[in-house]
Amino acid sequence: MDQKDSIRPGDLEEDRLERSRRIGWLDVDKIERSRCVVVGAGALGNELVKNLVLSGFRDILLIDMDHVVRSNLNRCVFFRDEDADVKAMKAEVVAKRAAELNPEARFGSHVGRVEELDWKTFKEYDLVFGCLDNVSARLHVNSHSYYAGVPFIDGGTDGFSGKVHVVLPPSTPCIQCSMNRSHFKVLEKRYSCTGADVVFHERKLAAEITTTSIIAAVQVREGLKVLSGQKERCIKNVMFYNGLLGTSEEYELAIDPSCPNHPDRS
């Protein structure tokens, strides 16, 4: 071996992803080159972005329309008291603080509704992560990412319960395929408000940091599988997590033939 090519003691410790490279199937180089979108920069978004950056992701677009409030502080690792004091925008705060975890990471932020973005925006990315707390935005991201052919990994929590749904176009059921009557009743209430001064508020969900951490970790792990050519190992249907029992189960989901995202199945 040429002396200049030899590995000196301590060289491996200089690579921040050296331990990840020891996982045979994990394509670290592709992960570093990938681009992803995170919709929602609240509790779930905070944990998910932390995991993305530590896993090697370097190009992340954050989308959120809201500002930091004090009740966010018990479950959002990137938020501080001063952020709530000045009502700093969540997407901008997460981008700023997450960049401290890896100076090589690049962040974009869109402060506003995800509905404001052209659907072609999704085509520019390799993965879309959903960290949303309302039905309409979740369905919007689902339909646009599916149409763009980009994998969508959606997560949600409510207290000690959570779920993860991996959508791999065009072969798997999407979020709309899993909608039931109660979900659509929420949408009907929202869109029946026609006056400019009328707003429909969905209830605030209970939030608990250990559940949020677990769901975000599962979402990122599924993204690592997708990018590493391990789609066959991804969650096939919908994973539900029960934090009180410490269990997770996968519930079977079929493509809905009437779903507008699957016109070839109708």
- Check residue 141 and give its pLDDT: 97
- Stated pTM of the model: 0.88
- Check residue 193 and give its pLDDT: 41
- Check residue 237 and give its pLDDT: 87
| Domains along the chain with CATH numbers | 21-253 (3.40.50.720)
pLDDT at 19 over 70: yes
Of 57-66, 198-207, 226-235, which gets the smallest average pLDDT? Answer: 198-207
Q: Average pLDDT in the 204-219 region? A: 93
pLDDT at 238 over 90: yes
Query: Please, which residues bridge with residue 60 across strands?
Result: 36, 107
- Over residues 111-162, the pLDDT tens digits come to 999 999 998 999 999 999 999 988 899 999 999 999 999 999 999 999 999 9
- Over residues 179-201, the pLDDT tens digits come to 865 444 444 444 444 444 445 45
- Over residues 70-99, the pLDDT tens digits come to 999 999 999 999 999 999 999 999 999 999
- Check residue 265 and give its pLDDT: 56
Q: Average pLDDT in the 59-71 region? A: 97
- Check residue 207 and give its pLDDT: 86
Q: Average pLDDT in the 53-57 region? A: 97
- Check residue 206 and give its pLDDT: 82
